[in-house]
A and B are shown apart, each in its own frame.
Chain A
């Protein structure tokens, strides 16, 4: 059965994920998103994966939080609180969410995953570092190149000189 820590973490994660989408102010929404991502990091700690949990905290809660908050503050003030959406589209979205939850949920509950439990020791994180530097080293290099090129691309996109005030200058 689940323990109290798991229950608290799931309430925190799901609740702040809903809050991130539904709170009126975008700034509080992004803070709620960070809470949800910290909840996922807590799940990683429960799953005996401290390395992934620390990576999640430093990348998501550390850097992406700052990035999103700065972008929100660059946007005009009334757009932050503005909330335009169709009523019908919203109800259809809620129906879609419930269908996905119930559908995939019943499939998973009916499958053989229910009996799956383990008593074996957790994976040593030294093994992950070893894997990264031996078997996955080409993938690691490619990932570094992708990160570098996407950061350069993001910077050139964000400071394009030919986009000024409402239209392209050409």
Chain B
């Protein structure tokens, strides 16, 4: 193959770092979900890349499971954003502090 394994792993590291930046810095709840999506996708990219180079089909199987679970997670996360928006009229996570003791 033209591309080595390490190229895919490096792209996945870059995606992971951008996702963590988004989770750490952004105060908009929907943008935090974007960051979570990027982290999940970098993990999937790693799984499929290692499954190609070992080679073994289990990496692809786990990537499929992970994509399906991520879809469920996004559905629940967006529902939580909608409920929080209806309660607080805002999607800034600094305003969601009714659980704070």
* Chain A interfacial positions (CB closer than 8 Å to B): 1-3, 6, 10, 13-14, 17-18, 20-21, 26, 29-30, 33, 36-37, 40, 43-44, 46-49, 51-52, 55-56, 59-60, 63-64, 67-68, 71-72, 74-76, 79, 82-85, 89-90, 92-94, 96-98, 100-101, 104-105, 108-109, 113-114, 116-125, 127-128, 131-132, 136, 139, 143, 146-147, 150-151, 153-155, 157-158, 160, 163-168
Known: A47-B8, A97-B21. A21 touches B34 (CB 8 A): yes
A64 CA to B76 CA, complexed, in Å: 12
Q: Is the CB of A18 within 8 A of B2?
A: no
Query: Chain B at the A interface: mostly helix, strand, loop or mixed?
Result: helix
Task: Kindly provide the distance from the CB of B87 to the nearest chain A CB, expressed in whole angstroms.
Answer: 6
Task: Closest B residue to A51 by CB, please name it.
Answer: B60
* Chain B interfacial positions (CB closer than 8 Å to A): 1-11, 13-22, 24-28, 30-31, 33-35, 37-38, 41, 44-45, 48-49, 51-58, 60-61, 63-65, 67-69, 71-76, 78-83, 85-92
Known: A75-B85, A151-B72, A158-B79. A105 touches B64 (CB 8 A): no
Q: Is the CB of A2 within 8 A of B75?
A: no
Question: Can you list 6 A-B pairs, Cβ within 8 angstroms, ordered by A?
Answer: A6-B3, A6-B7, A21-B18, A49-B63, A93-B21, A123-B56
Q: Which of B21, B28, B37, B74: most chain A CB closer than 10 A?
A: B21
A35 CA to B19 CA, complexed, in Å: 15
Q: Is the CB of A43 within 8 A of B64?
A: no
A147 CA to B24 CA, complexed, in Å: 28
Q: Is the CB of A118 within 8 A of B52?
A: yes
Chain A residues lying within 8 Å of B63, measured Cβ to Cβ, are: 49, 52
